[in-house]
Amino acid sequence: MGKSRLEAFSDGVIAIIITIMVLEMKVPHGSSFAELSPLLPVFLSYVLSFVYVGIYWNNHHHMLQTCNRVTAGILWANLHLLFWLSLFPFATGWMGENHFAALPSAVYGSVLLAAALAYWVLQQTIIAGQGPGSVLARAVGIDWKGKLSPVLYLCAIVSTFFLPWMAQAIFVAVAILWLVPDRRIERTLKHDVSTGGSRT
């Protein structure tokens, strides 16, 4: 499979995930603001998950820019990531409908953790296929955000049963951490082009 097909398939799945999430917000039968208030937790959960899915889509796009050949391992690692991302609508809806209760929030955090680990697996699979001197390997570097995020997710999962507000704060904090533009791959690609370096 060519890289373009992998990107198109992944983009399609992510678009469907966002569509399913927004459909979880049921249209109120009344026309007053009071009718909207019960939807606030669901809406806030949707916004948070929309940001997370957007971050994954953006980083996934940049990561595949560095990939010049798609192996069977990359295909399976990509499907593994999409599997966990496809659980976002369920976890998001359950947490929102239950007003950020402990167990639904813990499940939400577990999905975030699993997706983060799956993304790391895909990243490492691409690096393994292209070598330690590849664009992605050089761009990722020590990857402190990638290593810190799973630790924070674990803290949030534990916090859901003792300090629920802290768990939600951690989810938001990690999203903000990744919202900060990450130019590592762009800078590495630009440097290779300007110096005539290899993109392998």
Specify the DSSP class assigned to residue 68. S
pLDDT at residue 35 in the model: 83
Tally of residues, the chain: 200
- What is the SS3 assignment for the chain? CCHHHHHHHHHHHHHHHHHHHHHCCCCCCCCCHHHHHHHHHHHHHHHHHHHHHHHHHHHHHHHHHCCCCCCHHHHHHHHHHHHHHCCHHHHHHHHHHCCCCHHHHHHHHHHHHHHHHHHHHHHHHHHHHHCCCCHHHHHHCCCHHHHHHHHHHHHHHHHCCCCHHHHHHHHHHHHHHHHCCCCHHHHHHHHHHHHCCCCC
Instruction: Give 42: exposed, middle or buried? Use CB within 10 Å, 0-12, 13-18, 19+.
Output: buried
pLDDT at residue 199 in the model: 47
pLDDT at residue 7 in the model: 93
pLDDT at residue 139 in the model: 82
Please tell me whether the overall predicted TM-score, pTM, comes out greater than 0.85 for this model. Answer: yes
| Both structure tokens of 48 | 């948070």
pLDDT at residue 189 in the model: 61
Instruction: Give pLDDT tens digits along the chain (200 positions).
Output: 668 899 999 999 999 999 999 998 888 887 878 888 888 999 999 999 999 999 999 999 989 888 888 999 999 999 999 999 999 999 999 999 999 999 999 999 999 999 999 999 999 999 998 877 778 888 887 788 999 999 999 999 999 999 999 999 999 999 999 987 666 666 666 655 556 554 44
